[in-house]
Amino acid sequence: MIDIDATANALEAPPATQRMSYLDALVQAQLEELDRDPSVIMMGEDIAVYGGGKLVERFDERRIWSMPISETSFTGMAVGAAISGLRPIVDLTISSFMYLASDPIINQAAKLRFMTGGQVRVPAVFRCCMYYNASIAAQHSDRPYPMFMNVPGLKILCPTTPADIKGLLKSAVRDDDPVLIFEDTKLWPVKGEVPIGADHLVPIGKADIRRSGDDITIVAIGGAMRPALEAAEALEAEGVSAEIVDPRTLKPLDLETIIGSVRKTGRVLLVENAHLTAGATAEIAALIGEHGFESLRRPIRRLCAPDIHIPFSPALESQLFPDKDRILAAARALL
């Protein structure tokens, strides 16, 4: 005889999880997608060096393509592979290399579905890592996701947790449009509970409330999430309830979740590590002004990196990005 209550409870039980780092979750997602779909391939520079040793050991040269240092050429080849029926994951390593790959991404991958009246799809994923506060100087320290947000046809992801990098990467591989994933290397060692199994998907275009609150909304992007959560804990000790919103997807942006939080708190602090001018927070601020102005009790405030190139000097570089103390000071000024 079937125990209906027991069956219902089993169906409602949360998925089993395993504690792992952001980087390990990223590698697991790629392993699972390569196993699941023979059309998924991976290409890039130094794949084994940047956490991909397991991929190289598991799959042969038909699935893992080690490429020369020529980002423009192999990104273009990936677009061609996607058009031909494959689903490439392109590892561009350092995010500043996205500039070199931008021509095939912007002029081909982003436009081909539109220019062919929907006859051609480009199911490609372009991964890159944002290194900064690491003394690797101006040509290797950019956070260029805002410039790609301006391109129609691209989806832009910036996950901040191990569970989200796994779920969003898997969703990106299965998407029929080109997806750019910007991984913050400051998050690589961060550990968290990650659902086990190939069916863990996080929907593209859906934000997450990382911490509920009633007094102030803090929208944090990428590596700004860690100091934002630390600042929220400090504010709680002062009797202030901060709500932390993680967009996760920058394009398409989940404006509904952001506006819902603004209507609850009336105060907004937007934090990111990209440059101030025309950053993602500038777009979010404009949208809040258009769709949630009547809920604001105080002017919107942004914390970003200044509009300067990143210096090699650790002492100078460390002063450029929002940290816990700066977030705290900005939040207190809004209360």
pLDDT in tens, 85-140: 999 999 998 999 999 999 999 999 999 999 999 999 999 999 999 988 888 899 89
Phi, psi for residue 132 in degrees, rounded to 5: -165, 170
The gap from C-alpha 188 to its chain's centroid, in whole angstroms, comes to: 12
What is the pLDDT confidence band of residue 5, given thresholds at 50, 70 and 90? very low
The answer to whether domain 15-195 and domain 208-334 are alike in fold is yes
Q: Which of 140, 275, 291, 309 is catalytic?
A: 140
Q: What is the pLDDT of residue 13?
A: 63
Amino acid 226: pLDDT: 95
CA-nearest of 110, 111, 112, 74 to 92 is 74
Q: What per-residue confidence (pLDDT) applies to 2?
A: 40
List, for residues 260-313, the tens digit of each pLDDT value.
999 999 999 999 999 999 999 999 999 999 999 999 999 999 999 999 999 999
Confidence (pTM): 0.92
CATH topology assigned to domain 208-334: Rossmann fold (3.40.50)
Average pLDDT, the chain: 93
CA 113 to chain CA centroid, Å, is 24
Residue 51, pLDDT score = 62
Does residue 180 surpass a pLDDT of 80?
A: yes
Asked if residue 31 has pLDDT above 50, the reply is yes
pLDDT tens for each residue of 207-218: 999 999 999 999
CATH number of 15-195: 3.40.50.970
Chain CA centroid to CA 166, Å: 11
Pairs from 108-112 (Cβ < 8 Å, separation ≥ 24) = 108/76, 108/79, 109/79, 109/82, 109/153, 109/154, 109/178, 110/151, 110/152, 110/153, 110/154, 110/178, 111/153, 112/79, 112/83
Q: Is 140 a catalytic residue?
A: yes
Tell me the percentage of the chain whose pLDDT exceeds 90.
83
Domain ranges of the chain: 15-195, 208-334
Beta bridge partners of 43: 65, 90
